[in-house]
């Protein structure tokens, strides 16, 4: 008896979704996204503003983007993600449609429905795609897990800790000091 073939989706399938429907594509599989909560949006907005202000005040060349912002992780049509925050330091990766290749820094804010995706699937995908730094912000656990892929290290921080940004020497974020 032959086994049923699993359908492999492409970026064209993502762009063919009905207006207002959001999904990500990882290794040819579609993962639909629920609308974010107000708390999720507060955290994303405050982090984005803090990062953008730091880069601007330090004449940095990196560019931060907040979701929805398309990231085409690999040079194939089977991977498309919309991280909550993406920071891209190589302007050659930026195109009208989004980022082609791995951002330097990605932040995902955990939602109940995204927990396995953020902690497992995306962790592996971001690491293998060449992301330099990945933060998982889990407001239910008051925890920020920071993966510094350049130095092959990981650390956990609470929202009251001064969390070092590994791609920017001297930049720390303390979530308890943000308006969230």
What is the tens place of the pLDDT at every residue in 123-135?
A: 999 999 999 999 9
Q: What is the DSSP letter of 149?
A: G
Tokens 């979704």 -> residue: 17
Q: Quick check: 4 pLDDT over 70?
A: no
Residue 174 phi, psi (nearest 5): -115, 105
Give the pLDDT band (50/70/90) at residue 113: confident
Q: In the structure, what pLDDT confidence band is assigned to residue 180 with cuts at 50, 70 and 90?
A: confident
Encoding tokens for residue 61? 């060349």
Pairing outcome for strands 85-88 and 63-66: antiparallel
Q: What is the pLDDT of residues 145-174, one digit of tens each?
A: 999 999 999 999 999 999 999 999 999 999
Burial of 84 (0-12, 13-18, 19+ CB in 10 A): buried
Scanning 21-102, the segments in alpha helix (DSSP H) are 38-57
**How far apart (Å, rounded) are the C-alpha atoms in residues 137 and 134?**
10
Model pTM score: 0.95
């Amino acid at each position: 008896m032959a086994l049923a073939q699993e359908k492999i989706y492409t970026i064209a399938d993502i762009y063919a979704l009905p207006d207002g429907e959001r999904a990500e594509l990882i290794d040819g599989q579609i993962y639909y996204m629920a609308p974010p909560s107000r708390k999720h949006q507060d955290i994303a907005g405050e982090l984005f503003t803090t990062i953008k202000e730091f880069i601007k005040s330090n004449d940095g060349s990196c560019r931060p983007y907040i979701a929805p912002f398309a990231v085409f992780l690999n040079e194939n049509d089977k991977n498309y993600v919309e991280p909550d925050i993406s920071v891209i330091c190589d302007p050659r990766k930026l195109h009208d449609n989004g980022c082609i290749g791995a951002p330097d820094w990605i932040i995902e804010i955990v939602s109940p429905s995204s927990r396995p995706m953020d902690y497992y699937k995306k962790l592996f995908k971001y690491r293998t795609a060449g992301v330099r730094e990945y933060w998982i912000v889990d407001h239910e656990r008051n925890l920020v897990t920071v993966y510094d892929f350049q130095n092959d290290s990981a650390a956990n921080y609470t929202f009251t800790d001064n969390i070092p940004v590994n791609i920017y020497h001297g930049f720390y974020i303390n979530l308890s000091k943000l308006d969230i």
